[in-house]
């Protein structure tokens, strides 16, 4: 099953019609790394403290852990699709 996707061209936002397993894998991998950095390091605390919005950190674990799980699941699904593809 192919999913539709958008990508940024040099001149404009273009529509290429499909989300390949390779694209899906890289989106999942990059998202997992970013979410893991924000979950397990003080990166988000330092960033929010510098911006002056550290009061918003109460919800961080409630949001970041499910986001991390979602990106890991996306990476696994993409790896399975890439393995099954001819």
Between 61 and 66, residue with greater pLDDT: 66
Report how far apart, in Å, the C-alpha atoms of 3 and of each of 21, 41, 68 are. 10, 33, 21
What distance in Å separates the CA atoms of residue 86 and residue 81, rounded to the nearest whole number? 10
Q: Inform me whether the pLDDT recorded for 46 exceeds 80.
A: yes
In 10 A of CB 16, how many CB atoms? 12
Measured CA to CA in angstroms, residue 31 lies from 4, 8, 51, 60, 72 at distances of 19, 18, 22, 16, 8
Q: What is the mean pLDDT of residues 18-30?
A: 85
What mean pLDDT comes out for the span 32-36?
90
pTM for this predicted structure: 0.67
How confident is residue 23, by pLDDT bands cut at 50, 70 and 90?
confident
- 42: pLDDT confidence band, cut at 50, 70 and 90? confident
């Amino acid at each position: 099953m192919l999913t539709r996707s958008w990508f940024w061209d040099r001149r404009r936002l273009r529509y290429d019609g499909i989300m390949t397993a390779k694209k899906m894998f890289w989106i999942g991998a990059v998202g997992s790394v970013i979410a893991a950095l924000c979950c397990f390091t003080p990166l988000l605390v330092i960033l929010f403290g510098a911006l002056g919005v550290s009061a918003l950190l109460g919800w961080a674990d409630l949001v970041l852990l499910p986001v991390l799980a979602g990106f890991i699941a996306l990476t696994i699904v993409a790896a399975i699709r890439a393995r099954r593809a001819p």
